[in-house]
């Protein structure tokens, strides 16, 4: 009789640990999915702002076709990204193209003074900040999820369920070296 009670208690404890581990992994997976959704929203917001920015610049710098085409091409690549790896790969070209586009304002004082251009530039800068925050939240969520599925008892539950590893959103390496400041 005591053996049966001990067996029942052990089974209940095992089921309880599995249940808690499973629910923890599901919550972590859902947080990763939510994090990716936030990145996706911000990337789409930036992509929606770019055509307006290009049209504003066209009015002042129509002969800068190469720069404008590079921005449009980078936007197309960014919009077609479906995974964190694809989105991260698209980040480099779009950041570089936007940087060249914003640099045009120095050559065109009227563009620099244009209210639409200034407002779009501020919105894109704000969106870039949101993307950085969303990327950090997503990567933190992926790390937490990986910790849950790679440690005991979650590793056992993850192997029984369908809980694959997720990709981090890795920013591409900077092409430029950090400038050295000397006094």
User: How far is Cα of residue 82 from the mean position of the Cα atoms in its chain?
Assistant: 11
From first to last of the 183 residues of the chain, give the pLDDT tens digit: 899 999 999 999 999 999 999 999 999 999 999 999 999 999 999 999 888 888 888 777 766 777 888 888 888 888 888 888 888 888 888 888 888 888 888 877 777 778 888 888 889 889 999 999 999 999 999 999 999 999 988 898 998 888 999 999 886 655 554 445 454
* Residue 54 · residue 71 · CB < 8 Å: yes
pTM above 0.85, yes or no: no
- The count of other CB atoms within 10 Å of the CB of residue 22 is 17
Quote helix, strand, coil % in the chain, to nearest 5.
Answer: 80, 0, 20
Cα 108 from Cα 128, distance rounded (Å): 24
What was the pLDDT predicted at 178?
A: 46
Q: Are 172 and 91 in contact (CB under 8 A)?
A: yes
What is the pLDDT at residue 25?
Answer: 95
Judge contact between 21 and 161, C-beta under 8 A: no
Q: Can you give the pLDDT at residue 108?
A: 79
pLDDT at 175: 52
> What pLDDT, on a 0 to 100 scale, did the predictor assign at position 177?
45
- DSSP state, residue 166: -
């Amino acid at each position: 009789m005591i053996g049966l009670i001990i067996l029942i208690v052990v089974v209940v404890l095992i089921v309880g640990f599995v249940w808690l581990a499973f629910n923890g992994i599901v919550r972590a997976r859902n947080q990763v999915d939510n994090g990716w959704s936030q990145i996706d929203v911000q990337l789409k917001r930036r992509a929606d702002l770019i055509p307006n920015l290009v049209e504003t610049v066209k009015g002042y710098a129509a002969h800068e076709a190469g720069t404008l085409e590079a921005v449009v091409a980078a936007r197309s690549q960014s919009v077609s990204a479906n995974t964190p790896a694809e989105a991260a790969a698209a980040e480099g070209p779009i950041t570089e193209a936007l940087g060249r586009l914003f640099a045009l304002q120095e050559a065109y004082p009227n563009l620099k003074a244009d209210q639409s251009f200034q407002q779009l530039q501020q919105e894109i800068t704000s969106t870039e900040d949101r993307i950085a925050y969303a990327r950090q939240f997503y990567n933190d969520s992926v790390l937490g999820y990986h910790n849950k599925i790679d440690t005991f008892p979650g590793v056992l539950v993850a192997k029984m369920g369908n809980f694959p590893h997720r990709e981090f959103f890795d920013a591409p390496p900077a092409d430029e070296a950090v400038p050295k400041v000397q006094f």
